[in-house]
Amino acid sequence: MSNNSQTKKTTICSVSALPLRREPSEQSEMVSQILYGEEVEILSVKDNWLNIKLLYDDYEGWVDKKCIEELSVRANDTKFISDRLFEKHTINNKLVWLPAGAEYYIEKERVKTETKQPTNQSIIKTAEMFLGVPYLWGGRSAFGCDCSGFVQTVFKINNIKLPRDAYMQVEYGDIIDFFDMIKPADLVFFGDIEKITHVGIALEGNKIIHSSGCVRIDSLNHQGIYNHDTKSYTHHLRIIKRLNI
């Protein structure tokens, strides 16, 4: 058997964006989202619900089993991560709207591939693509995202893997000790002495892009985020981190 005919089985999310819930119920809190094509491990089954682990970030929760399917991946298939806010694809004879960060496979012979290296500029460009996307607790997609889901997906599109929550993301990168040393694409964390509760991405000119109500740009200084609409500080600065890009 040639390499081109070899296949492997993988279990994926088969809808655009799938709620990952704390308990096996539609009324249960959405703790995260799984994007189309992301691989999962099934941990247990309860009626019409699957307890799964998302392999990208090891987040666990419950999903509707109708939205999970087994996929055969050929040895000559290449995985792509969607880098457009929405794009329409026909996959396995089914029309799918893919949000940014979704994964899909294409035969190598059909595409010309090149490795894209992330830069500060590419991260900012990706982040600004999400401007206006509504805030959604647990969201990771252009249908809605929370602060850490927004950051995780922006960096995923740029081939940088971050964990799901802000208090996890703050463990990555090098600390920037002084506010005047901040650079575009630095991660900026907010909260109180006990807890990190918010994260955003630094822009030029003492600005920050973050998900708060929607993905928006606000002013940033050594005190925190200043919202000119409400004329008040909304988040208090805790830590600035720089990833090795």
As a whole number of angstroms, the distance between CA 41 and CA 54 comes to 7
As a whole number of angstroms, the distance between CA 167 and CA 110 comes to 41
Using alpha carbons, select from 9, 6, 14, 7 the residue that is nearest to residue 71. Answer: 9
Please check whether the domain covering 120-242 is classified as CATH 3.90.1720.10: yes
- Name the CATH superfamily for 8-110: SH3 Domains (2.30.30.40)
Give every CB contact of residue 160 below 8 A, 6+ residues apart in sequence: 118, 123, 243, 245
Would you kindly state where each structural domain of the chain is located, as residue ranges? 8-110, 120-242
As a whole number of angstroms, the distance between CA 122 and CA 112 comes to 20
53-66 residues labelled b (16+ CB within 10 A) or e (exposed): bbebbebebbbebe
As a whole number of angstroms, the distance between CA 108 and CA 147 comes to 35
Using alpha carbons, select from 190, 199, 219 the residue that is nearest to residue 146. Answer: 199
Taking the CA atoms of 242, 118, 221 and 223 in sequence, report the sign of the dihedral they define: negative
As a whole number of angstroms, the distance between CA 197 and CA 57 comes to 19
- Residue owning tokens 């040639």: 2
- The pLDDT of residue 50 is 98
DSSP codes joined into one string, 188-240: EEEE-SS-EEEEEEEETTTEEEEEESEEEEEEE-SSEEEETTTTEEEEEEEEE
pTM: 0.93
The pLDDT tens digits along the chain (245 residues) read: 344 568 899 999 999 999 999 999 999 999 999 999 999 999 999 999 999 999 999 999 999 999 999 999 988 889 999 999 999 988 878 889 999 999 999 876 554 545 678 999 999 999 999 999 999 999 999 999 999 999 999 999 999 999 999 999 999 999 999 999 999 999 999 999 889 999 999 999 999 999 999 999 999 999 999 999 999 999 999 999 999 88
Give the pLDDT confidence of 116-137 residue by residue, as tens digits: 789 999 999 999 999 999 999 9
As a whole number of angstroms, the distance between CA 235 and CA 220 comes to 10
